[in-house]
Amino acid sequence: MQEKTTPLYTASDILKLLPHRFPFLLVDRVEELVKGDGPTRVGRKIRATKNVTINEPFFPGHFPHRPVMPGVLQIEVLAQAAALGCVELDGPKIDVAIAGVNNARFRRPVVPGDTLQVTAEVIKDRSGLLIVKCEARVEGEIACEAELIAKVFPLEVQ
């Protein structure tokens, strides 16, 4: 049995950091956040979790005979984890948007009962445009991976 750890960010913390809500908030918790050493976000790393349950709203239609998590939603999990790696609860309010997806690969189906362990690392930061290397694993096996291009900008409070 795996040892329980206290998450760095709980679901209620994630709600404060991301604008997503049901049914589109896909990250359940953040286990670890490593900040980069320099003045940019390069080197920031995050480890987050998405628990996949049979109650997900997409499973009845994808597919009724063999439920599989859609690849586009796997990419969205990567993107939400990457965004969480770029913001902080006590930091400035910023927004992060996907600007591109490179080299996406789906290595195994993600099915009800799986737990996605997501990692993301900022590898480039140029004028608010980030390149983030991401992957999601199930029981140590890569389920999906991609390099995301993200735009970071100040959050406009309404």
Q: What's the length of the chain?
A: 158
Decide if 65 is catalytic. Answer: no
- Bridge partners (DSSP) of residue 100 are 149
Please report which helix (H) or strand (E) contains residue 103, including its range. Answer: strand 94-106
**DSSP annotation string for 111-155:** -TT-EEEEEEEEEEEETTEEEEEEEEEETTEEEEEEEEEEEEEE-
Indicate which residue of 20, 47, 62, 151 is catalytic.
62
Place of tokens 């600007």: 99
Q: Are 83 and 18 in contact (CB under 8 A)?
A: yes
What are the catalytic residues? 62
